[in-house]
Chains A and B, each alone.
Chain A
Amino acid sequence: GAVVSQHPSRVICKSGTSVKIECRSLDFQATTMFWYRQFPKQSLMLMATSNEGSKATYEQGVEKDKFLINHASLTLSTLTVTSAHPEDSSFYICSARDARVGQPQHFGDGTRLSIL
């Protein structure tokens, strides 16, 4: 079946560090990818929609300068958390929409980000 690879799975770093998370569709082309954030025991909240070759669309309340999204190819989107602080600690999950009609979104395994 369709696979989405998300890397890294776990990051622990100091406050002020910028962290890049990659989301790759391994066996299909993804014109659109989505980035979600999930706090403990809560639901997934959409942060932004990443479209190949164009600027990402951010949800209300999400700082686009804080969470930089790049979707440079049909199989790769990256989320960079710039100058991360402890309040940015969370679980980040990407999903990719198969460009073929009628296909569901496929999720990556998530990245647990811990800022010390």
Chain B
Amino acid sequence: AQTVTQSQPEMSVQEAETVTLSCTYDTSESDYYLFWYKQPPSRQMILVIRQEAYKQQNATENRFSVNFQKAAKSFSLKISDSQLGDAAMYFCAYRTDFGNEKLTFGTGTRLTIIP
């Protein structure tokens, strides 16, 4: 079974600075998807960024980018120019490329933005 580990329960960053959230996973599959979701206090799950395992190029979405290291099974999220609205729980998630496509989530990292 796949597992997803987020080793940082809490992180904080000064507004406008850059922060990196860590995620590692364990799988025996070669094709899969990785995601970062944001859950603000409203508890809505918001997709931040996704990465296909077969793509070597790291995904980027505006201020959000990932460092995908397939051999190391690492998938970190970098948030540049942090904004107050970035404060939330961030969940890393894994999804197989076949089957019922269920998501396996990490335990989450609570990100606080310091004004």
Q: What residues of chain A have their CB less than 8 Å away from a CB belonging to chain B?
A: 32, 34, 38, 42-46, 49, 51, 57, 91, 93, 95, 97, 104-105, 107, 109-110, 112
- Which residues on the B side are within 8 Å of A44 (C-beta)? 45, 91, 103, 105
Give Cα A34 to B102, complex, Å.
7
Question: When the two chains form their complex, are residues A91 and B108 in contact, meaning their CB atoms are under 8 A apart?
Answer: no
Q: Say yes or no: B100 contacts A57, CB within 8 Å.
A: yes
Interface size band for B? 10 to 19
Q: Is the CB of A93 within 8 A of B45?
A: yes
Interface residues in chain B, defined as those with a beta carbon under 8 Å from any beta carbon in chain A: 35, 37, 42-47, 50, 91, 100-108
Chain A neighbourhood of B100, CB < 8 A: 32, 49, 51, 57
Inter-chain contact A32/B101, CB cutoff 8 Å:
yes
Contact B107 A97, beta carbon cutoff 8 Å: no
Which residues does chain A contribute within 8 Å of B91, judged by CB atoms?
A: 43-44
Q: List 7 A-B contacts (CB under 8 A).
A: A38-B43, A43-B108, A44-B45, A44-B105, A45-B105, A93-B45, A110-B45
A105 to B50, CA, bound (A): 11
Which of chain A's residues have a CB closer than 8 A to the CB of B43?
A: 38, 91, 93, 109-110, 112
